[in-house]
Amino acid sequence: MNKQYFGTDGIRGEVGKGVITPEFVLKLGWAVGRVLSQQGTHKVLIGKDTRISGYMLESALESGLSAAGVNIGLLGPMPTPAIAYLSRTFRADAGIVISASHNPYQDNGIKFFSKDGTKLGDDLELAIEAELDKPMSIVESGKLGKAKRIDDAAGRYIEFCKSRYPSDMSLKGLKIVVDCANGATYHIAPNVLRELGAEVIDIGTSPDGVNINLNCGATSLNALKAKVLETQADVGFALDGDGDRLMMVDHKGNVIDGDQLVFIIARDALRRGEMHGGVVGTVMSNLGMEIGVKRLGIPFLRSKVGDRYVLELLKENGWFIGGESSGHIINLHMTSTGDGIISGLQVLRAMQTSQMSLYELSLGMDKYPQKLINVRFGEGQQPLESEQVKQAVRDVESALGDTGRVLMRKSGTEPVIRVMVEGENLADVDKFAQQIADTVQQAVN
C-alpha cells in the first residue's frame, strides 16, 4: 500500500499548510495512541527541536494521545537521537519527535521511534494512516492519558553520549568549535565535549524559535569554518537542527562530509580489529567512498536515500557502520539510530588513537567531483516523466561512460528533484549537472 502522509522520515511540511496544522496533529496523536493501545501499550515520550511552532504542535499531540488513553512524558527541546535513546531507557512504547530536521523554521514535522529506538516500520505507519481515516473518539474520562514533564532528560542523554567514548581516554588538549544550528543540541553537545575534557567554543547556541538552521549548522558551514580558522581550533563540529546529522571542518577550514566521516570511522574500526562486515552508503554516496572502502578490503553496499534505508540494509547484513554524504551516520555498535554527537566522538577517537589530525585522516579517501542541483516543482507535476529530461540524462550518461554516473530522484522531504552528476573532471560534472537541471526546469515551467 502507498502511504498518504508518511515520507522517508515521518510527516513534514510547512506550518499552517497541508497536514502541519493543530487539527491534523491532534488527530495524528489520537491515531498513534489508538495503534499503540491495540498493542496493549500506554506510554509515549514527546521531544521537539527549538522551532516556535513546536509549542503548538506539542500541545496538539499531547491532547490527541490523551484522548486515546495514552500517558505522555514531555522531554522539551531534545535531539532526535536522544529521544530514540530515552524511549528505550524509559521503557516507553514509542518516542515522538517534533522537528523538520535541517529545514527552515517555517517547516515542521512529526517522526516516530519504536520502543527499540528505531524508526517505525511500514506496517505501523500504515496502521496509523488507517486510523486517521476513522472518526475521532475519546476514551472514558477515567482512562484519559496523563502528561508529565521529565526534568532530567538532558542530563541522562549527556551521560549516555559520554559513555560512548572510551573511559580511559579524554579530549584534553583539543580545541573544538561546535555549531549547534540554534537547534535541539544547544544545551547538549557543548556540555558533552566539555565534560570529556575539550576546550569548547560554541556557536549557534542561542535559539529564539526562528533562527534554527539559519546561516549555521550542518547545512551552512561558513560560520563554522570562519570560527575554526579564527580561533585556530583543531576541529569543528556542525550539527543540524535536530542533531542527527554531522558535518566537520578540519583545522585548515576544509569541510569533511558524511562520506569521508563514515570512511574514517570504518578505517579506525578496522585498525582496532573491531570492523565486522561492511559499510552501507546510499545511491548518493561519493564514488570515492566506495573505492576507498573496498580498497581496505571492506564490503560496500548502497541503499536508497534515507537513513532508515541505510539502517535496514545494515541490519539485513548484520553490519554496523553506514551513512549518507549529508551527515546522517549510523554506528549500530554505539546506538540505535543516526546521532551527530556520537558520530563526532568516533571521529575524535580516531584522531586521538592515531595521533593524526582530521585533515590527515581525510586524505585516505579521494573524493570524486560531484554536483547536486535541486529543482523545485509544483503539485501534480512529474518532471522525471518528461521525454526531454530522460534524453538529457541519456546524453550525459553516454558522455561520461564508465568514469561517472547520473542520479535523478525526488526528495522525500520537500518538493524538489535532486539532480546529481559525478565524474572525474569537475568542469564536466558542473556542465552536465546544469545541463540536466535546465532541462528539468524547462519541463517544470
Question: Of 97, 127, 151, at which residue does a domain stop?
Answer: 151
Q: Kindly state whether residues 273 and 227 are assigned to the same domain.
A: yes
Number of other residues whose CB lies within 10 A of the CB of residue 195? 15
For residue 83, tell me if it sits in a domain: yes
Q: What is the mean pLDDT of the chain?
A: 95
Q: Looking at per-residue confidence, does 37 or 417 come out higher?
A: 417
CA neighbor of 108 nearest in space, from 73, 148, 58: 58
Which is higher by pLDDT, 198 or 8? 198
Contact yes or no for 89/142 (Cβ under 8 A)? no
First to last CA, the chain: 31
Over range 425-435, report the average pLDDT. Answer: 95
By percentage, how much of the chain surpasses pLDDT 90? Answer: 87
One domain, residues 177 and 301 = yes
Q: Is the pLDDT assigned to residue 137 strictly greater than 90?
A: yes
What are 353's three cell numbers?
A: 588513537
Percent of the chain with pLDDT over 70: 100
* 17: Cβ contacts below 8 Å, ≥ 6 apart: none
32 and 17 in a single domain? The answer is: yes
Least confident of 109-123, 160-174, 201-215, 385-399: 109-123
169 and 304 part of one domain: yes
pLDDT at 2: 80
**β partners of residue 77:** 48
Rounded average pLDDT over 406-421: 89
> Are residues 161 and 63 part of one domain?
no
Q: How sure is the predictor about 235, in pLDDT bands with cuts at 50, 70 and 90?
A: very high
Domain boundary among 111, 130, 151: 151
Same domain? 63 vs 168: no
Greatest alpha-carbon pair distance for the chain in Å reads: 69
The CATH number of residue 74's host domain is 3.40.120.10
Tell me the residue range of the domain where 376 lies.
370-444
Domain membership of residue 133 (yes or no) is yes
pLDDT of 404 reads 87
Helix 80-89 to helix 153-163 angle (10° resolution) is: 90
Q: Is 2 among the domain residues?
A: no
3-class DSSP state for residue 87? helix
| pLDDT at position 3 over 90 | no
In this prediction, residue 1 has a pLDDT band, given cuts at 50, 70 and 90, of low
Of the residues 362, 387, 412, the one at which a domain ends: 362
- Please indicate whether residue 170 is annotated as part of the active site: no
pLDDT digits (tens, 9 = 90+) for 62-80: 999 999 999 999 999 999 9
Domain assignment of residue 6, yes or no? no
- Specify whether 248 is located in the same domain as 284: yes
Does the pLDDT of residue 144 top 70, yes or no?
yes
- Looking up residue 376, the CATH number of its domain turns out to be 3.30.310.50
Residue 308 has pLDDT above 90, yes or no: no
Of 155-164, 204-213, 287-296, minimum mean pLDDT range:
287-296
Query: Which DSSP category does 336 fall into?
Result: S
Are 44 and 145 found together in one domain? yes
On the question of pLDDT at 440 being above 80, the answer is yes
Residues 49 and 88 in one domain: yes
Q: Which of 37, 63, 99, 101 is catalytic?
A: 101
Same domain, 35 and 146: yes
Same domain, 288 and 141: no
- Does any domain span residue 3? no
Band of residue 317 on the pLDDT scale cut at 50, 70, 90: very high
257 pLDDT band (50/70/90 cuts)?
Answer: very high
Cα–Cα dist 236/256, whole Å: 10
pLDDT tens-place string over residues 72-128: 999 999 999 999 999 999 999 999 999 999 999 999 999 999 888 888 888 889 999
Give me the amino acid identity at 27.
K
Question: For the chain, how many structural domains are there in total?
Answer: 3
pLDDT at 39 > cutoff 80: no
Q: What is the mean pLDDT of residues 313-317?
A: 96
Do 86 and 115 lie in a common domain?
yes
**Cα separation of 350 and 94, whole Å?**
34
